[in-house]
Structures are given as C-alpha cells and as structure tokens.
Amino acid sequence: MSEGSLKGKTALVTGAAQGIGKAIGHRLAREGAVVAACDLNLPLAEATVQEIRNSGAKAKAYLLNVTDAEEVVRVVEEAAKEFGRIDILVNNAGITKDALLLRMEEGAWDAVLSVNLKGTFLLSKACARLMIKQRFGRIVNISSVSGQRGNAGQSNYAASKAGIIGFTKSLSQELGARGVTVNAVAPGFIQTAMTEGLPQEIKDSYLKQIPLGRLGTPEDIAGAVAFLCSEDGAYISGEILGVNGGMY
C-alpha cells in the first residue's frame, strides 16, 4: 500500500478524539483522505483535527452522539455536503462498563449495546445510502477479540462486539453488489487510556496470553483499517481481521 493511496477520498471516523480513533484519523489523512472526525468530546476532536491540519491534510470535527438517530443523519449529511461525498466509514466509537454478570446493572448493559452496536447500525445505515448512490464505499467496523473469544466481566462489551461481527458479515452481503465493502478489525489488548488505568498484575496477565509479548498500539489498528480502505483491500469483504499479537 503506497502513501497517498486514499487521495481524493473522504473518511468519517467515530470516536476520533483519542486513542484508536485518533490514530485512525491520522493514518487515513496521511494516506490522502479528508477526515470528518466525530466524537462526543468536541474540544478533543478539534485538537485532533488541528494536528491533522498541521500535517497538511484536510479535516473537520463534528459533535456526534452515535446513539441519536436524528443527530447521526444530520452529521452525515453535513459532512457529505462539506466534502462532496463520504467514501469511508470507520465505526470506532465504543464504551465499556465492566462487571460480572450477577453484579451488572441493566443500565450498564443497555449503554454498552447502545453505543457499540446500535451506533454502528445507525452510522452504517446513514452512510450506506450515500455509498450505494456512489456505487463505492468502504465500511470498517471496530470489533474486539472479546467479541470473538469472550472475556470474564465483559458480557455486555463482548456481546456488543460479537454483534458487530454478525452485522459486518450480513451487511457485506447486502452492499457488495453496489461496490461497497464491509469488514471489521478486531483488536486485541491495545495501549490506550483505558488499559493504562489497569493494575499492573492485570496487564501482566494479558501479556502472558500474547505470543508477540507486547500490547498493541493504536497505530497497529490504524494500519489495518487503512489497508482495508485501500485498493489493496478492494476484494476483501465480510472479513474479520484480528490484530491481536497472535493471542487468538
């Protein structure tokens, strides 16, 4: 994949203010894409956008609650009007509210499924309408190794990420004939603000499960996303790309 492979493309990335979403925004911009950086934290999203602009690329920040259907449609329409089209959608926005099942409150279940799974549904539906008309599109959903193998204390998170896998495979069959690919990237344990707060003994237990012997970086995930959005990934659809250091 050559640098600048996404020149002329517009990418909408959710959860783009920090962590994996921020790295994805930077990588897609480096490959030549214009980036619509969407997040609930607008100041942080604007800071990310400024960094992208400082690198010479074009980007704009949008305040977005991915669980609000009307807001999703409005932001997608605004971005499409601003940049002329949306070629790439990266559904990265996600949250965790971990607890063992017997201690998990219903609100924690609903919140995680709403952001992680419903948000993916709403954004994909809104962007797919545009992509079908263009007869071109790349949708990349961020799942998780937890959605593939489960993880104690994360039944809500794992269910939402497993749901994304089924959603990805189904949507790829619906949109393929219109020139739209739909894939998912399933990260393993990645160095983010979320994992930084974990006790060292938990981090050590994770490392023992990873054959490559290190946590992943947001840039590892961003590289996989960029590949799936590029021409090198044009004949890949309905796939789940594990980026987990060999742990699964």
Q: Give residue-wise pLDDT tens across range 58-116.
A: 999 999 999 999 999 999 999 999 999 999 999 999 999 999 999 999 999 999 999 99
Q: Residue 157 catalytic? A: yes
| Closest C-alpha among 243, 242, 241, 246 to residue 207 | 246
Convert the pLDDT of each residue in 164-177 to its tens digit. 999 999 999 999 99
Average pLDDT over residues 177-185: 98
- What pLDDT is attached to residue 202? 79
- What pLDDT is attached to residue 204? 87
- What pLDDT is attached to residue 196? 79
Q: How far apart are CA 138 and CA 236, in angstroms?
A: 10
Q: How far apart are CA 51 and CA 213, in angstroms?
A: 31
Distances (CA, A) of 73 to 77, 131, 239: 6, 14, 26
Which alpha helices (DSSP H) does 150-198 contain, by range?
155-175, 193-196
| Closest C-alpha among 141, 224, 143, 222 to residue 181 | 141
User: pTM of this prediction?
Assistant: 0.96
In percent, the amount of the chain with pLDDT more than 90 equals 92
Residue 220, pLDDT > 90, answer yes
- What pLDDT is attached to residue 20? 98
CATH annotation of 10-189+217-243? 3.40.50.720
- What pLDDT is attached to residue 2? 62
Query: Looking at residue 137, what DSSP letter applies?
Result: E
Residue 1, pLDDT > 70, answer no
Distances (CA, A) of 21 to 36, 77, 107, 245: 11, 21, 25, 19
Active-site option among 157, 206, 235, 248: 157
- What pLDDT is attached to residue 198? 73
Read off the pLDDT band of 4 (50, 70, 90): confident
Residue 159, pLDDT > 70, answer yes
Q: What is the mean pLDDT of the chain?
A: 96
**Are the C-beta atoms of residues 80 and 3 closer than 8 Å to each other?**
no
**Are the C-beta atoms of residues 49 and 126 closer than 8 Å to each other?**
no
